[in-house]
Structure 1
Amino acid sequence: MVESYGFFGWIIVGLLAGGLAKLLMPGKDPGGCVITILLGIAGAFLAGYVGHLIGWYETGEAAGFLAAVVGSFVILLAYRLFIRNR
């Protein structure tokens, strides 16, 4: 299944994936809505990139929503570890 999101589709998926990742990870996070959207979009790209390397996705195929949430969760975890070490 090939998912092709437009610009606004990526924003909506990013907002939902980033928001869900923040809900799943307990604790207080800095950043508001814009950071949440960027986190979700970056998570979707990370999931697509890793999935492509592993062979889960074909060239040009986007990661699914659950993969975007997992990617967002990983990025949020890395962000928290980076901020804690500063």
Structure 2
Amino acid sequence: MAVTGIISALIVGLVVGVLGRLVVPGRQNIPIWLTIVIGIIAALIGTAIATVLGVASTRGIDWIELIIQIALAAVGVALAAGQYGRRRP
């Protein structure tokens, strides 16, 4: 993978993670690096799901794929916030 691919993955992961974090109500006490990691994973899994459903290759912006990615990121952020919050005293 080229450096531009890694940078693109980080930016997409950040955007998807932050959007997923905005969807979850309340305050999440998780670090930004965890949000980025969750966003990257959600983006990869969301793209795979959209490909299986046949909605990944559309003309223009793939809104359905983006919604799937954000929903997965929201679930991931909610789960991580619950687990991360329990570790803290």
TM-score, length of structure 2 as denominator length: 0.65
- SS of the residue corresponding to residue 29 of structure 2 reads coil
Distance between the aligned counterparts of 1:74 and 1:43, measured in 2? Answer: 9
Q: 1:68 Cα deviation (Å)?
A: 2.8
Unaligned runs of 5+ in 1: none
Identify which range, 71-80 or 13-22, moves more after superposition.
Answer: 71-80
Distance between the aligned counterparts of 1:16 and 1:33, measured in 2? Answer: 11
Is it true that 1:18 corresponds to 2:17 in the alignment? yes
Query: Higher helix proportion, which one?
Result: 2
Identity of aligned residues (%): 23
Distance between the aligned counterparts of 1:18 and 1:77, measured in 2? Answer: 11
8 Å contact kept, 1:21–1:70: yes
Distance between the aligned counterparts of 1:24 and 1:37, measured in 2? Answer: 15
Is it true that 1:39 corresponds to 2:35 in the alignment? no
1:61-76 to 2 correspondence within 5 Å?
65-76=66-77
Which has the larger Rg? 2
Letter paired with 1:15:
L
Unaligned runs of 5+ in 2: 58-63
Q: Provide the alpha-carbon RMSD of the alignment.
A: 3.0
TM-score, length of structure 1 as denominator length: 0.66
